Amino acid sequence: MTQTPAVESGDRSHALAPVESVAQISSVLRDADPSLDPRLAALARRAAADGVVLLRNDGVLPFAADRRIAVFGRAQLDWFAVGYGSGGDVKAPYSWNLLAGLRDVGVQVDDELAAATSAWTAAHRPATSAEWGRWPHHLPEMPVDDELVTTAAARSEDAVVVIGRAAGEARDSLLEPGSYFLTDAESDLLDRVTAAFARTVVVIDAGNVMDLGWLARYGDRIAGVVLAWQGGMEGARAVAAVLAGEIAPSGRLTDTIAATYDDYPSVVGFGDPEATVYAEDVFVGYRYFETFAPDRVLYPFGFGLDYAEFTQRVVRASTDADRIELEVEVANVGTEHSGRQTVQAYVSKPGTALAQPARELAGFAKTSLLAPGQRERLVLSIDLADLASYDDAGTTGHRDCWVLEPGEYRFAVGTDVRRAEPVASITLDEVRVIREAVEAAAPDPAAPFRRMTLERDADGRAVVGWEPVPTATVDRRERVLDDLPTALEPTGDRGIRLDDVAAGTATLDEFVAQLTLDELALLARGDLVMDSPLGTPGNAGVLGGVSASLRTKGVRPVTAADGPSGIRLSSYASLLPSGTALASTWDPALVRELAALHGQEMVRKGADVLLAPGMNLHRNPLCGRNFEYFSEDPLLTGRLAAAVVAGVQSQGVAACPKHFAANNQEAFRTRHDSRVSQRALRELYLRGFELCVREAKPLALMTSYNRVNGVWAHYHHDLVTTVLRAEWGYEGCVITDWWLESAVDPDFPALADNAYRVRAQVDVLMPGGVKTDDGPQAYADDTIVESVARDDGLTLGELQRGARNVLGLVLALAPVIDARATAAASPRRRCATATDASG
């Protein structure tokens, strides 16, 4: 039976029903919420399967129908379907485990061993903590002896050992057994099983990268390794389908798996309670390993094996002044298995003035399902402008600009970063300025540091060098004052409703000019508490129409629900694959299709804004929330996030990408300072957000808990106003993560807390209450109204500007909110709702 993560507060725990067959699913659905869409479940299974990464296979997989398989490890039953916290605590009506999944797809499992494992697991239920952020990283393994293993080997041809790991919000993984490393019991299990069986397959059920260095000591005794990223309620069944060959593995790694933890360049300072210096700069993940330490990689970025045998051939490479187009023919030249292949294109930049990684992902595409003998041509179109680097030091002569340096840009195509072969190049004769920007969110001169750069030894080999990071020079006070908007002249209530704006009979400015100071302040915060009575039960918070006066004027309350692996409400909802599982598909079209069905479920369940997708980079493998996020690469992150946003918003509801920005550690997350150069911030940690904003136009966006170069993200004028809004053209609503840290604006002492936040154009405090030493409180502070009355305080124009952003979100969501209210008011719907509740 799948373990259910504890929740932060309240009694919302639920047990997930164990599923033993497809027939039982129908029964479970009838007994739970009949509106759970079977199409969504089916597509979630496919996405989970397509995200499974096959790391090793000597021919043992897929399992032949006539082979009996002995399955070891309690995680086959206590399967981790997703990680912990707000991103995973979804009330799903069911969740598959691997044993049930294997039986469902017809694998002949050793029933005697399965019965023994089930009996032991039932008798040794773990003592799980209900305290937020104290969930187990693993569950104690069932002890085995030689007799148990050898008798199982006498009955079965092959073995599967299942290892489970979990991580989650507010708690990073740890460098200890049972988290990043194997436990002694797991090592003992592997020792005994690999000694008794000629071939063993290891299935790793995880949301985060864990140590895999132990694979080397078993050599070819471990014949197959499957990395089964947490795939939600259908995840274990999807993994079983891959093991049985019902679905071909096509997942590719979105992270580099290094030989040891200490090989990652981000280890220094990770987990520090005060600050972490992002000293590796742009050399994150494969950018570091392919440049400086290729010999320290177990599995490279983009890696994944297939059952089918593929060839890739570039049949055309055309270039002009602005782009390169690569046409690649993929052929399934095998004779037994169908499959899908991912084509990956990488660029090597000249590095004439700026230090550049050996390779960067420049484009990718995935084939359809190819049967033996079939072939398909994919076209990768790469804009040179998208390959620009950010010069934060003026090294190219163009400080604070996106530039293409002169020299040769070499392109390689292949199946992963390591196996990509050179196919084409473009040479620029002079530096090309792609976009002028301004200094923003630069490191504090009071906290200078040095960053990694590229140098060459006497033999021309890349070696790590170090250089000072450019620090801030901008007068922030002057910048903010230059940005202050002109206030609308207050008109008093003229009887204009928000519906009139929607109908085109009044302007939004005319509506906003009616609002009182108190109403403007109300729009700048949510309804104080989680599970607001103004929204769908179990909501994360409500914003918009939080007062009777606003609702009278037509401002609808907007329900926000946690994500991204489902809709976290009191009602049942689908538990979907984790962010890493989705990204491992390398298939934005599939993810968009899944997200559209998810958006339909939001409409049915009463969620207007989904707090998803999670977009922070996998800077370090220990970050507890990596399972919610996509990748160590910003291009892959941005493309997948744009797919999620486009899919969700195609249904009239909103997505809210998070956490903006540089939220790469859960420990001390509300106090921690991410100290990072402008270049790394823009090229890596903001780049995915930029792609998502420009391509998908999310209606909402959430700031992060942490500080960025000394300033909390929810106060960060440079990040939110200068970069997000002015440079990227974002016009949506920006909300905080839940609650904020108290602070006074260092340049405007008349602004504190929420007034400080509004000046940054962070429009809404969520859920709206005050955070104190005693915890969150269900009342609002008066900092906004008090600041407006003070000299050099918050201006009326700033409040009106924020109100426009919030009301724009309300207007976009009004059709769905109104349709839901109409349906709920009908007698037939009231009956259906009562039935749902009793179920």
**Cβ proximity of 778 and 769 under 8 Å:** yes
**Among 249, 188, 254, 180, CA closest to 212:** 180
**Cβ proximity of 386 and 460 under 8 Å:** no
Half-sphere exposure of 66 (CA within 13 A, CB side): 0
Alpha helices in 282-369, H assignment, sequence order: 286-292
**Among 422, 300, 309, 414, CA closest to 365:** 414
Torsional sign, CA 392, 393, 399, 401: negative
**Among 568, 579, 576, 592, CA closest to 45:** 576
Distance from C-alpha of 636 to C-alpha of 471, rounded to nearest angstrom: 29
Q: How far is CA 540 from CA 6, 199, 560, 607, 781, in A?
A: 16, 48, 6, 10, 20
CB burial string 130-167: b at 16+ within 10 A, e below: eebbebbbbbebbebeeebbeebbeebbbbbbbbbbbb
Residue 233 CB burial class (10 angstroms; 0-12, 13-18, ≥19):
buried
**Cβ proximity of 55 and 303 under 8 Å:** yes
State phi, psi for 422 to the nearest 5 degrees.
-60, 135
**Cβ proximity of 325 and 371 under 8 Å:** no
Which DSSP category does 134 fall into? -
**Among 27, 9, 6, 8, CA closest to 18:** 27
Torsional sign, CA 822, 646, 7, 22: positive
Q: CA dihedral in degrees (282, 284, 286, 292; nearest 10)?
A: 70
Q: Residue 163 is encoded by which pair of tokens?
A: 């290892």
Question: Which H or E element spans position 225?
Answer: strand 222-229
Contacts of residue 780, Cβ cutoff 8 Å, sequence gap at least 6: 525, 528, 768, 769, 770
Is 773 in the active site?
no
Distance from C-alpha of 416 to C-alpha of 420, rounded to nearest angstrom: 6
**Cβ proximity of 69 and 156 under 8 Å:** yes
Q: What is the DSSP string of 52-92?
A: -EEEEESS--SPPTT-EEEEESGGGTS---S-BSTTT----
- Within 10 A of 97 (CB to CB), how many other CB atoms are there? 26
Three-state secondary-structure class, residue 628: helix
**Cβ proximity of 245 and 337 under 8 Å:** yes
Q: Which one of 392, 673, 737, 753 is the catalytic residue?
A: 737
Phi-psi region of 52 (alpha: psi -120 to 50; beta: other; left: phi over 0): beta
CA 127 to chain centre: 29
Residue 685 CB burial class (10 angstroms; 0-12, 13-18, ≥19):
buried
Contacts of residue 803, Cβ cutoff 8 Å, sequence gap at least 6: 512, 515, 520, 523, 524
Distance from C-alpha of 254 to C-alpha of 256, rounded to nearest angstrom: 7
**Among 348, 355, 350, 313, CA closest to 332:** 313
Distance from C-alpha of 86 to C-alpha of 736, rounded to nearest angstrom: 15
Please list the active-site residues.
737
